[in-house]
Amino acid sequence: MPDYKWPPMDKRRLIGKPISRLDGAEKASGRAKYSSDLNLPGMLFGALLTSPHAHARVRSIDTSEAEKTAGVKAVRVIATPGTEIRWAGAEVAAVAATKEEIARDAVRKIKVDYEVLPHVVREDKLSEVGTRAKPAGETVSGDPDAAFKEADVVSEGEYGIPVLAHCCMEPHGQVIAWDGKQMTYYPTTQGVSAIGPDLAKTLEIPATSVHVQQQHMGGGFGSKFQSDLWGAECARLSRASGGSPVKLFLDRATDLVIAGVRPSLWGKVKLAAKKDGTITAWQSETWSTGGFGGGGLNADLFPYVYREVPNRRIQHTAVSLNAASQRAWRAPMHPQVSFITAVAMEDMAASLKMDPLELFSKNANYTARAEVYRAQLKKAAELAGWSKLWHARGDSGKGPIKRGLGIGISTWGGAGHASQCRTTIHPDGSVVVELGTQDLGTGTRTVITQVAAESLGLPINAIKLNIGDNKYPPSNPSGGSTTVGGVCSSTRKSALNALEKLFAAVAPALGAPVDQLEAVDGKIQVKGNPAKNIAWKAACQKLGMQTISEMGANDPRATLGLNTGGVGGIQIADVSVDVETGVVKLNRIVIVQDCGLIVNPKTSESQCFGAATMALCGALMEERVMDRVTGRMLNTGLDFYKLAGISDIGNIIVHLDISPEHDARGIIGLGEPPVNPTIGAISNAVANAIGVRVPTVPMTPDRVLAALERRKA
């Protein structure tokens, strides 16, 4: 068996190097075809009719006018009479037509008679949700009551973070051609190998009849795992129209409402501490909604990172709303729990009149990696200029612009998922590497190619990589930052397994045993005697009629040290707040991120930039706004569902701790860890600047001004 371990840091040619993403030019020049870009011969366009009511029962539905419309090829009723609609935006009917505008016209001609039922769509005030609140229990450890009684200082606060949508730039949807027997399925998905069986199960057909293809996808962030009701309906429209391909993508307004949100989190937190800053107790009473299904947030993650605070009482309530159910959102639950923990700790530091950097550091023994966090706090403070710029809360001088710094915290797993790879070496020397994985824009194509080329001693352009098709060996979906560890490990093993076969073919000619051969710079050579070598192509010619094709698998239970999980991270935000207008301007975010072996520092850094950027939207501008009266989401377009633009992010400074010690841990996923600390860090920086906590994010000008008013009162 080959020795799969990663080559030593100083011997790597491609792994660890900032290689530009290999599909970059194709995407930036518009040549890359996303599933939503496909125009297949005879393709029809699908459109959905969705419910305008948050809670209703369908009395009757009349599709006759739609069916009569010229150009309409299929109409399907999804919500048959008697169906209970549980949120606005729920799918009611679907149409396929020769043109998209015809499909949309036809949808408008469908008449639905609804019996409108009472709804609840807001949970920011728990007292207003009535029977929709379901206590999710209480966890107690130690003796929190005694700890609060004995505490030198008790600090209390109320905080809230609303529901957010995923808002992927490429909306959810797919193109499907299904004649009732064979299906070609072009999804936009995070799971090329898993989504076919998922749709097949819904349609009760064999998974073997579904061929999935997806070369590029425009963002998922946790919302694009399942085939969804619109996937199944798209397939049914195709079959009903005689097997013509049907393209059905959600419009933005529908996408924001039904295609993925993350849970909110609201509540009270009480902390106890000794005078020296040692935290002695944590108590939280929180509630959240994950949509109709209820809470979906594990409050036992409290206190975040500082898990071992000795005395804890954690109560949580799940609220069911008339809103579509939650989906995994980049680091499920972590950003919300991180935010509330970090702000409660900073409020305690303010009560103690203590530098929060000291408080976070002092209590690091409560974390799973005290030394890592202490070192990261030190590094982040150094990069942020903490000693020069930090001041006691609110002590930010004269004038309307107040500057402040704040700390946020993170932890995550990120070990590699199950993945299989096949490496094929042809007698002409060409190499093809195949995995049923997907590149979400994280750089998966690039890192796989780096690993394969490095392992075979070949240049990047000698590797042909095939992904994005379920005819290749299966890899798990991309979730939990598990992809990079999974696919790189399976690729490493597959490539070395294939290489060993090639060594066997050339060993006699080189007069050395297989285990004494190595592949370097396009040659197979004898270890310690590079003069004895054979060029790659000549070596492959010795295969004659034989083609080498070898598998490699990452087994998450036995990763052989190629990948692992478990990281910490610290961020410091630097903001300026105008106390006259309430506008918060982000100056900088400093990211100090624990990591393992970094395959590609360029795309790794982009993950950090992207995570902090996505997160800061939730701190400053992004939220779902529901209307109590109509039960609908009010801000269903990107004009009012606010995302950060290029001028809103300040500067982001990334420090990845690339060192032999961390490198030895193997690969660890980075997609999610840096998303967790940002909101807490920004909230803490604003409190530091203006001297008062803005309890609810996003910290829009009205909320900042309201917080300042309360302080005056």
Partner 1 sequence: MSSKKPTGVTEKPKKGFSRRGFLRGVGVSGGAIGAGVLEREAEAAQPAAAVHGPGEVAITLRINGKAHSLSVEPRLTLLDALRDRLNTTGAKRACDRFGCGACTVLMSGKAVYACSVLAIDAQGKEIQTIEGLAAEPRTRALINAFVEHDGQQCGYCTPGFVVAAKAFLDRNPSPTEQQVRDGLGGNLCRCGSYMGIRKAVVGVSRQTGGAKNA
Token digits of residue 16: 């660890």
Residue 423 or 483: the one with the smaller Cβ distance to partner 1 is 483
To partner 1, the closest distance from the beta carbon of 520 in angstroms equals: 28
Residue 338 or 559: the one with the smaller Cβ distance to partner 1 is 338
What is the CB neighbour count within 10 angstroms for residue 327?
A: 22
Residue 171 or 568: the one with the smaller Cβ distance to partner 1 is 171
Q: Which of 67, 49, 66 lies closest to 114 in space, CA to CA?
A: 49
To partner 1, the closest distance from the beta carbon of 175 in angstroms equals: 12
- SS3 call for 136: strand
CA 525 to chain centre: 43
What's 179-220 look like in SS3?
CCCCEEEEECCCCCCCHHHHHHHHHCCCHHHEEEECCECCCC
Rounded Cα gap, residues 121 and 110, in angstroms: 26
What is the CB neighbour count within 10 angstroms for residue 644?
A: 19
Residue 83 or 98: the one with the smaller Cβ distance to partner 1 is 98
To partner 1, the closest distance from the beta carbon of 587 in angstroms equals: 13
Residue 380 or 690: the one with the smaller Cβ distance to partner 1 is 380
Residue 615 or 704: the one with the smaller Cβ distance to partner 1 is 615
Residue 320 or 446: the one with the smaller Cβ distance to partner 1 is 446
To partner 1, the closest distance from the beta carbon of 676 in angstroms equals: 15
Residue 252 or 268: the one with the smaller Cβ distance to partner 1 is 252
Token digits of residue 73: 């090829």
Rounded Cα gap, residues 413 and 480, in angstroms: 8
Residue 297 or 617: the one with the smaller Cβ distance to partner 1 is 617
To partner 1, the closest distance from the beta carbon of 263 in angstroms equals: 19
To partner 1, the closest distance from the beta carbon of 71 in angstroms equals: 12
Residue 215 or 683: the one with the smaller Cβ distance to partner 1 is 215
Q: Are 341 and 309 in contact (CB under 8 A)?
A: no
Residue 485 or 610: the one with the smaller Cβ distance to partner 1 is 610
- SS3 call for 682: helix
To partner 1, the closest distance from the beta carbon of 326 in angstroms equals: 18
To partner 1, the closest distance from the beta carbon of 171 in angstroms equals: 7
Q: Which of 75, 161, 251 lies closest to 682 in space, CA to CA?
A: 161
Token digits of residue 457: 């001693």
Rounded Cα gap, residues 115 and 684, in angstroms: 47
Widest CA span of the chain, in angstroms?
A: 89
Residue 468 or 610: the one with the smaller Cβ distance to partner 1 is 610
Q: Which of 259, 253, 248 lies closest to 103 in space, CA to CA?
A: 248
Distance between start and end Cα atoms, the chain: 73
Q: Are 668 and 414 in contact (CB under 8 A)?
A: yes
To partner 1, the closest distance from the beta carbon of 712 in angstroms equals: 33
Rounded Cα gap, residues 625 and 151, in angstroms: 40
- SS3 call for 56: strand
Instruction: Supply the DSSP symbol for 22.
Output: T
Concatenating the DSSP letter of every residue in 525-585 gives: EETTEEEEEEEHHHHHHTTTT--EEEEEEEBTTB-TTSB---EEEEEEEEEEEETTT--EE
Residue 63 or 444: the one with the smaller Cβ distance to partner 1 is 444
Query: Using omega within 30 degrees of 0 as the cis cutoff, is the peptide bond preceding 674 cis?
Result: no
Token digits of residue 393: 């809360």
Residue 50 or 315: the one with the smaller Cβ distance to partner 1 is 50
Q: What angle do CA 281, 684, 161 make, to 5 degrees?
A: 80
Question: Residues 6 or more apart from 244 whose CB is under 8 A from it?
Answer: 42, 43, 44, 73, 96, 177, 238
Question: Residues 6 or more apart from 303 whose CB is under 8 A from it?
Answer: 282, 284, 309, 312, 341, 344, 345, 366
To partner 1, the closest distance from the beta carbon of 89 in angstroms equals: 15
Token digits of residue 554: 């990452």
Residue 173 or 691: the one with the smaller Cβ distance to partner 1 is 173
Q: Are 188 and 33 in contact (CB under 8 A)?
A: no
Paired residues of 48 in beta bridges: 94
Q: Which of 507, 633, 678 lies closest to 50 in space, CA to CA?
A: 633
Site residues for partner 1 per CB under 8 A: 20-21, 23-25, 27-34, 36-37, 39, 45, 99-101, 167-171, 216-219, 221, 251-253, 440-443, 602-603, 605-606, 609-614, 637-639, 643-647, 649, 651-652
Q: Are 697 and 339 in contact (CB under 8 A)?
A: yes
To partner 1, the closest distance from the beta carbon of 231 in angstroms equals: 19
Residue 28 or 140: the one with the smaller Cβ distance to partner 1 is 28
